[in-house]
Amino acid sequence: MPRLLSILTLLTLSAYTPLLAQFSKGMRMPGMTIGNVFFNSGTTEYASTSPNTSGYTSNINKGGFTFSPGIGWFVTDELVVGAQLIAGYTYDKNIDDQNNVTFRKNIYRSFNGGIGAFARKYFSTTKSLIPFAQASLAGGTGSSKSEGFVYATSYKETYAGKSSGDFFANAGVQLGVTKMLNEHAGIDISAGYLFSHTKNTFSNNTARDIDFNGSIDETGVEEITTKKNNHGFMLSVGLQLFLKR
């Protein structure tokens, strides 16, 4: 019991004591960063002035995240270089309705993983709230799946497919702060710019019902290759440890 009271007293005192980082060359910085956590849900209404065309409503749900465990080394008292493992998931669901009838639906899921490198510059090492700038590069591969259907004037077509040869490459810069919890641990909060390039080739199996009677009249296979470049905003939260040599 006396030992437990001593530990509790020490923790209580540390909560009111200024925490000063003491970084030095040769220290290690293992940690985990969670970035680009997002979810959005929205509705877009499309109206038409053409007498032969009706408007429709598009419902969109998107979500995803990336996380990056890694380790860095202090090459100076303020500069850290390191490596990361990258893993992420994206979910995208689109449903289009016209007169309360769904005529198009698409669900897309993507997993990816890879490796990256980063360099971080701390601007102060004697405060409990330490600003930093970081640059990073990453690349890797993954897999994607899609499924859905579409109603046309004279048929209904369903499809399901998966991708091959997925590739992604990212480059980003961030500004943030590390809030020191104690001498050996801190929480990162940062924001910045991220450029990403992705490429994949989908192989979709299609089935067409011409008479709307539930039977399959035609089948086929189509391949679609897509390349995307994206410029985006990145918000990240992470936990870092600071271990002496």
pLDDT reported for residue 50: 67
Diameter over CA atoms, the chain: 84
CATH number 2.40.10 given to 2-241? no
Token pair recorded at residue 90: 């994206």
Residues 6 or more apart whose CB falls under 8 angstroms from that of 46 comprise: 55, 56, 57, 58
pLDDT digits (tens, 9 = 90+) for 165-204: 789 999 999 999 999 999 899 999 999 998 888 888 888 8
Q: Identify the helix (H) or strand (E) that includes residue 12.
A: helix 2-15
What percentage of residues in the chain have a pLDDT greater than 70?
Answer: 86
Average pLDDT, the chain: 84
Query: Rounded to an integer, what distance in angstroms lies between the CA atom of residue 119 and that of residue 65?
Result: 22
Where do the structural domains in the chain lie, given as residue ranges?
Answer: 2-241
pLDDT digits (tens, 9 = 90+) for 78-112: 999 999 999 988 888 889 988 888 889 999 898 99
